[in-house]
Every structure is written in structure tokens, then in C-alpha cells.
Amino acid sequence: MSASSTVDGSLFELVLQTTPLLPLRSIHPSTLRSVLGAIVDWLIEQQLPALVWAKLPRGDIWQAELERLQSAPHLAEMVYTIALQQEEREGHSSTGALAPDQDREISAPGAVNATLPLGPVYLPSNSPLRREYFLLIWSAQFQGGILAQSLRTAQSHPLSRSIEAASRVVPGSDEASEKRLLSATYLLDAALVQQLVERISQIVRESVPSAELMVQRWQSRMNSLPQEGLSPGLLERLLVSHIHRQDELWQRNQAYRKLAEKSEALAASNRELTQALDLKDDILKHLGHEFRTPLTTMKTALTLLNSPNLKLPQRQRYIELLGKECDRQTQLIASLMELVQLAAVIDPADLQPVQLQDVVPGVVTTYQQIAEEQGIRIAYMVPEGLPPVVGMTHWLKQIMINLLNNSIKFTPRGGQVWVRVRPQVEVVELEVRDTGVGIPASEIPKIFDHFYRIRQAGDESTGAGLGLTVVQQLIKHCGGSIDVQSRIGEGTSITIQLPVYRPPSGAGPANH
């Protein structure tokens, strides 16, 4: 029975009418390309006299597979390609045509020599084959191939229920992926392959009348190849070729994935470097301002001190101003040196177990006299038996110094400052709380920024604006966290969580 008497539609409709139980699968174009590549590898390796009909998607990567077939010596004259006309091909907008390549004499066993044009047969854009792709093989030992169709096209056909039921989309796939899916099937039946070739011949005859001689040649060559039956050995080698191709693709994808990961890591490093450079520029900009302002004040004070009419109280005030600005410059330089040291990479192996009961009492006692002179009561509470925390002793001392400096500075006479240490699960909390002026809610996210200072009315000694920045960086190096709670007129509470020190595997217990 000829294909024309069976169905006048596409190859898929022919397949579904003649072999309704043929298994169909929804696949991605990359999977189709992998299967096609495996078949092409197998054909070139076997060097069997075979006729090949091919229609593949447009694109260099697909055409490369056709070129590999057409360049194989034993297949060069037996590969027939079908393609859709490109609308831009002038003079071929509505009818089919043969490719206008050079003619070449070709021959086949049992057929008369003839001169036929090489290159694909171009079908009109409304051809029944417009959304179908195939690679059909006809040889004495093997008749088969692969047939695929756009899933959207398949579901729009009158036989869409059969195709849709056989081509279930994987749950969870997005709409964009579904639009790219293909409905595909393997063909391993000689009678079905022959029917498909007859249907292709019919479509070519109707679209390209000048291709009649080529179509006759197809039939002549098919008849000249005796059918010896399906060879299990060939199928086995085809399967091995497909497995090798999949393994090669997997390894290539792994290499691409590693390159993508490296590229992503380089991009992240580049972003971090850009941020660091921006931060450096910002710090340098602020430094210029921080150094210029006090130097201007100091120069003005020195000029006024040289005035012969300057009275003693004024002279004393200018001298005190010079001392204050010198202290401010010293504090700024010291804070900058600390930040420079903290910018260095810290080796986790250098972190040590630190006992807070060895740090907190000593620092609080040092500030006891300073607080009392300003009428501020300061106290601490550190329970016994605390587990050691991760860090460096001098780091934790610096954290305490900076926090107590701030609390005493912004707490008015008659206020209080408390330091409390509490053990928690996996961490130890260190809280510094005061009854000071408080921090506006809008200012809290900014207090750790470089050179950021909370301006207080009547306060002329605002510091370098780096104390809390240093605190945050030190806590970060320890692997801890910091939280700030404050209300205007009620005070501020800063809570630090430091991880409990765990000795490395095989190491002895930390000293308590």
C-alpha cells in the first residue's frame, strides 16, 4: 500500500495511523542532537552501503552533522537532504526547488547513470514536513532511524490526543521549556521506513516537479539493496555508539559547568574587588576631610597664639584645643592602623580560646575611675564556669574598650553602664547597656560605617568615627554577631554573640 492512499498529512500522522502503539517521547532538542550524532558516528564507523534521508533543524550545529555524513566516502552519493525554503531566497517563495548547486554524475547498482544536482531539496514553507525532523536509513542489514516533531505542532493535529497521551511533559517544566520540546520516536521497522520514504517522495514530487528523476533514483537504489534482516550486532554497536556519545556530552557538560563555576567565582571576586576599591576610595576621601579639618583648626590656633594681645585665658584655651586635636589625630591614626591589620586574611588556625572572665573585669576596672569622674556608675556581672569563646585576647579587650568609651561618652551625669555576660547554646553573649541619650532608629544601620559619627548637641569631641567599625570587624573575624537596640532618652544596648571555642579534632580540651 502506498503512503498516498493511507494519509495525505505529515509523517507523524502516517506513523500514528499505521503503528498506533509506537512509543513516543517528549525530548529536548539537545537530546535529539545527541541521538543524531550517535547515529551519524555509527554510520561512518560501519561504512555500510546505505541510503540516508535527512531533514534537520536550521543552524550550524545541525548542518555540521549533515556535512559529516556527506563527507563520508561510502555515503557521499547516498545522502538526500530535505529543507524548507528560506523566505529570503529570491524567486522561491511559494514553490519547491532543487538546490542550484553544480551537477555531478552519480550511479547506483541496478540503475542507469544520470546527472542529478547535489544539495538539499527545498520544499515550500507550508509543506506537511515543515515542523518535522528525521534521519531515515536504508541498508541491507539495517532499516530504521529517528523521527521528531515540534510538540506544539503535534498537539495541534487532529490526532493530537494520541500524541499528547504518548508525549507527556515532565511535571514542573516551565512554559518556555515546553515550547522547545519535541515528540520523537525510534524507527526499527523496514515496512514503516519504506512507507515514510514513499510519503517523502510524494511530497517532493508535488512540491518540486523537477525532482522526479531524483525520486526515481531513490526507489531504484532501495530496490537494489537486498534486505538481509536486522543484525543484532549492528544494533549493539549503535547502542554502544549512543552511550559513548552521551558519555562524551556528559564530560563536556561537566567541563562547561566547571568553567561556568570558575567564571562565576571570578565574577564574584571581581565584584568583591570592585567593592573594596570603592570602599578604599571612600575611605581616602573621608581621610582627606578628617585630616584637613583638625589641621586647619590647629594652624588657626597656632596663629592666634602668636598674637601679642592674647590674654592668658584665651592662650590656655587655644593650647587645650591644640592638645585635643592632637589626641584626635592620634586616635584616628591608631584606628586606621587597626583597620589595616584587620583587612589582612585571618588564618582560622590562629584563633584561640579566650575566657571572658579574664578580659571583662580588667577593662571595666580601668574605666571605673573615668566613669566616676563624670558621675556615671559602671558595673559588670560575669558568671563563673563560662566556656571559652573564639578569638584573640587583645581583640576582645579592644571590643570592650571601644564599647565602654561610647557608653560613657554618651551617658549623662547620674547615668549607669552595665556589662553582663551570659552563656547561651553554642554562644556566649556579651552585653553593654547604658542609660545614655540613645540613638535614633534611622541612625542605627549606619553606626558601623567608616567615619560615621552621631552628632550630639554641644559635643565637640566626636572621635574618629571608626570605633564601632573596628568592633564590627573584630567580631566578624571571631565568627560572631552584633545587635544594637536603642531608644532616644532611654539608652542603648549592644549585644555581642561569640561562638564557643571547639578544639580541632584530636586536640586536647581548651583550658578553662
Q: What CATH number is given to the structural domain containing 411?
A: 3.30.565.10
How confident is the model over 152-209, as pLDDT tens digits?
Answer: 654 444 444 444 444 444 444 444 444 578 888 888 888 899 999 999 999 998 888 8
Residue 88's pLDDT is 37
Residue 35 shares a structural domain with residue 183: yes
- Mean pLDDT is lowest, of 216-225, 270-279, 304-313, for 270-279
Residue 202 shares a structural domain with residue 324: no
Q: How many CB atoms lie within 10 A of CB 298?
A: 19
Query: Do residues 32 and 43 touch, judged by C-beta distance below 8 A?
Result: no
Residue 351 shares a structural domain with residue 395: yes
Residue 434 shares a structural domain with residue 510: yes
Query: Do residues 132 and 246 touch, judged by C-beta distance below 8 A?
Result: no
DSSP letter (8 states) at residue 438: -
Q: What percent of the chain has pLDDT over 70?
A: 69
Q: What is the overall mean pLDDT for the chain?
A: 76
- What is the rounded CA–CA span in Å between residue 432 and residue 471? 13
* pLDDT for residue 283 is more than 70: no
**256 is a domain residue:** no
Q: Can you give the pTM of this predicted structure?
A: 0.47
Residue 328's pLDDT is 72
Backbone angles phi, psi at 370, to 5 degrees: -60, -45
* pLDDT for residue 423 is more than 80: yes
Calculate mean pLDDT across residues 20-25.
Answer: 74
Residue 173 shares a structural domain with residue 306: no
How confident is the model over 117-153, as pLDDT tens digits?
Answer: 446 788 888 888 888 999 998 888 888 888 998 866 5
Placement of cell 587655644 in the chain: 318
DSSP letter (8 states) at residue 500: B
How confident is the model over 329-385, as pLDDT tens digits?
Answer: 776 677 667 666 666 556 666 788 999 999 999 999 988 888 998 999 999 999 988
Confidence bin at 262 (pLDDT 50/70/90): confident
Sheet bearing 416-423, strands edge to edge: 377-381, 416-423, 427-434, 491-499, 481-487
Query: Do residues 93 and 85 touch, judged by C-beta distance below 8 A?
Result: yes
Residue 382's pLDDT is 92
Residue 310: domain span? 263-344
Alpha-carbon torsion 19, 20, 22, 27, what sign?
A: positive
Q: Which of 295, 320, 344 is the last residue of a domain?
A: 344
Calculate mean pLDDT across residues 486-508.
Answer: 84
Residue 330's pLDDT is 75
- What is the rounded CA–CA span in Å between residue 131 and residue 498? 65
- What is the rounded CA–CA span in Å between residue 184 and residue 11? 12
Confidence bin at 40 (pLDDT 50/70/90): confident
Q: Which of 313, 344, 375 is the last residue of a domain?
A: 344
Packing angle of the helix pair 232-305, 312-342 (nearest 10 deg):
170
Residue 332 shares a structural domain with residue 351: no
Residue 444's H or E segment, with its range, is none
3-state secondary structure of 420: strand
Please enumerate in sequence order all residues whose Cβ is within 8 A of that of 22, keeping only pairs 6 or more positions apart, or say none.
15, 16, 185
Residue 220 shares a structural domain with residue 331: no
Residue 472's pLDDT is 85
Residue 314 shares a structural domain with residue 438: no
Residue 185 shares a structural domain with residue 275: no
Calculate mean pLDDT across residues 411-423.
Answer: 93
- What is the rounded CA–CA span in Å between residue 357 and residue 41? 74
Q: Which amino acid is at 478?
A: C
- What is the rounded CA–CA span in Å between residue 295 and residue 274? 32
- What is the rounded CA–CA span in Å between residue 462 and residue 216? 98
Q: Which of 326, 344, 362 is the last residue of a domain?
A: 344
**247 is a domain residue:** no
Which residue has better confidence, 105 or 271? 271
Distance from the first to the final alpha carbon of the chain: 94
Beta partners for residue 491, in sequence order: 487
Confidence bin at 465 (pLDDT 50/70/90): low
Residue 380's pLDDT is 92
How confident is the model over 300-315, as pLDDT tens digits?
Answer: 888 888 888 878 888 8
Residue 406's pLDDT is 86
Residue 272 shares a structural domain with residue 168: no
Q: What percent of the chain has pLDDT over 90?
A: 17
Q: Is 248 exposed, middle or buried (0-12, 13-18, 19+ CB in 10 A)?
A: middle
Residue 282 shares a structural domain with residue 429: no
Residue 234's pLDDT is 65
How confident is the model over 428-437, as pLDDT tens digits?
Answer: 999 999 999 9
- Mean pLDDT is lowest, of 14-23, 258-267, 461-470, for 461-470
Residue 110's pLDDT is 34
- What is the rounded CA–CA span in Å between residue 227 and residue 50? 11
Calculate mean pLDDT across residues 216-229.
Answer: 80
* pLDDT for residue 293 is more than 90: no
Calculate mean pLDDT across residues 50-66.
Answer: 86
Which residue has better confidence, 92 or 302? 302
CATH of the domain at 274: 1.10.287
Residue 108's pLDDT is 35
Residue 286 shares a structural domain with residue 194: no
**404 is a domain residue:** yes
Q: Which long-range contacts (CB under 8 A, 24 or more apart) does 349-353 make?
A: 350/392, 351/390, 351/391, 351/392, 351/478, 351/501, 352/390, 352/391, 352/392, 352/393, 352/501, 353/388, 353/389, 353/390, 353/501, 353/503, 353/510, 353/511
Beta-strand pair 491-499/427-434: antiparallel
Q: Is 172 exposed, middle or buried (0-12, 13-18, 19+ CB in 10 A)?
A: exposed
**242 is a domain residue:** no
> Nine-digit cell at 78?
547516498
Q: How many domains does the chain have?
A: 3
